[in-house]
Amino acid sequence: MGYTYHLPSRRNPFGEDVIEWEQSEIIDFTEYKVTMKVLVATEKPFAKKAVDGIKGICAEAGYQVVMLEKYTDKAELLAAVEDVDAMIVRSDKVTADVLAAAKQLKIVVRAGAGYDNVDLAAASERGVVVMNTPGQNSNAVAELAIGMMIYMSRNQFTPGTGYELQGKTVGIHAYGNVGRLVGRKAKALGMNVIAYDPFVTDRALFENDGVEPVGSVDELYAASDFLSLHIPATEQTKKSIGYKLLMSMPKGATLVNTARKEVIDEAGLEAAMSERLDLKYVTDIAPNDVESMVARFGNRFFATPKKMGAETAEANINAGLAAARQIVEFFEKGITKFQVNK
Ligand SMILES: NC(=O)c1ccc[n+]([C@@H]2O[C@H](COP(=O)([O-])OP(=O)(O)OC[C@H]3O[C@@H](n4cnc5c(N)ncnc54)[C@H](O)[C@@H]3O)[C@@H](O)[C@H]2O)c1
């Protein structure tokens, strides 16, 4: 006769661990579970529903959740990471010094698609797994991209004659989660959709959506009345969209950027827009030179005051819950499906 030892399976109202004993044949130490500490560090907090969901998923697994919201000083983040096993972040910067301060950290999940805010090399060096939550906010971004096309084709809703999307060609630069949804929505609006993504080798992916793949970036821009950008910011793509590509676009073309600011060569963009008075640029990630661009380009340029592609209640909740689930699956089952620093 022995005892099975469950620790700590729940807490009493005073926050103390309640240790439950029950009789069994042998002492089963595999039942012993150390509570994981999960930090949710968000300068821009999640919606309440997302926070409640994260807490629920973690509580079910017996994990403790620590919240650090709306912090303004990096020192607060450095202090908060000290004893946590896992972290959920949004656009928060997880730099080498944050990772160095997080002595117990095993996993960081970026609730979102892009993960250029996490120092992947420093994480790998410390054996910390980094994941994103791909696809969870894609619909929000895709809807915004389509909305931006309409906004620009109707002169930013100021009086005057605009034009329609139907019958125009939209080029999708990168056919990933967001690009695909933009492609499908654009088809439904009666647009001709072409796309370029050298890493999508299965033509059926394009064909099933009624989308025509093209063979090069040059070909894509030269044929696109609207160009919707969905490339990640990598060493290869940073500053890759500039003067030459913009100058090759058809008359009255609009570049829509809901990807990343860093992929634009701003000097090249401004030069092209100064030279060609028909070109338009719309984005949810304001360029460095935003004020001067508003003054110089008027209705041909628009940037949202804050990044807002993924700012919907649905995307917020989807990404937050996916991050919590991925952490539990990582600790409980060793699942690393969405690891980005392999
Ligand atoms: N505005 C926002 O709030 C917001 C929200 C989510 C994502 N994003 C940005 O949008 C980008 C796309 O998001 P996603 O969820 O579709 O990512 P994803 O990873 O699903 O797709 C990215 C695609 O880019 C392709 N790609 C990579 N390098 C390329 C290159 N050099 N040329 C052409 N294609 C290339 C990949 O093959 C992949 O298909 C993200 O990287 C992120 O930076 C912005």
Q: How confident is the model at residue 8 (pLDDT cuts 50, 70, 90)?
A: very low
Cα–Cα distance between 276 and 314 in angstroms, integer?
39
68 with 95, same domain? yes
Would you say residue 308 lies in a domain? no
Residue from 235, 200, 233, 234 nearest 214 by CA: 200
Ligand 1 atom having least distance to the Cα of 237: 31
> What pLDDT does 21 receive?
42
Buried b vs exposed e over 269-304: b needs ≥16 C-beta within 10 Å?
bbebbeebeebbbbbbbbbeeeeebeeebeebbbbb
Spacing, Cα 174 to ligand 1 middle (Å): 6
Q: Are residues 186 and 102 in the same domain?
A: no
Residues having CB within 6 Å of any atom of ligand 1:
112-114, 134, 137-138, 141, 174-179, 197-200, 230-233, 236-237, 258-260, 284, 307, 309-310
Nearest atom of ligand 1 to the alpha carbon of 260: 43
Establish if 341 belongs to a structural domain. no
Question: Do 256 and 289 reside in the same domain of the chain?
Answer: yes
- Exposure string (b/e) for 231-243, b if CB count within 10 Å is 16 or more? bbbeeebbebbbb
pLDDT for 122-146, tens place per residue? 999 999 999 999 999 999 999 999 9
> What pLDDT score was predicted for residue 35?
86
Span from the CA of 327 to the centroid of ligand 1 (angstroms): 23
Q: Which residue's alpha carbon is nearest to atom 8 within ligand 1?
A: 259
In this predicted structure, the answer to whether residue 156 has a pLDDT above a threshold of 70 is yes
Q: What is the CATH number of the domain that holds 97?
A: 3.40.50.720
222 and 234 belong to one structural domain:
yes
Strand partners of residue 228: 172, 256
Is residue 10 helix, strand or coil?
strand
Please indicate, yes or no, whether residues 297 and 240 belong to a single structural domain of this protein.
yes
pLDDT digits (tens, 9 = 90+) for 200-240: 999 999 999 999 999 999 999 999 999 999 999 999 999 99
- Which of 116, 175, 205, 230 should be mutated for ligand 1, with most atoms under 8 A from CB? 230
User: What is the atom index within ligand 1 of the atom nearest the CA of 140?
Assistant: 5
Statement to judge: residues 51 and 153 lie in one domain: no
Q: How far is CA 60 from the centre of its chain?
A: 26
Query: Into how many domains does the chain fold?
Result: 2
Average pLDDT of the chain to the nearest whole number: 92
CB 82 within 8 A of CB 41: no
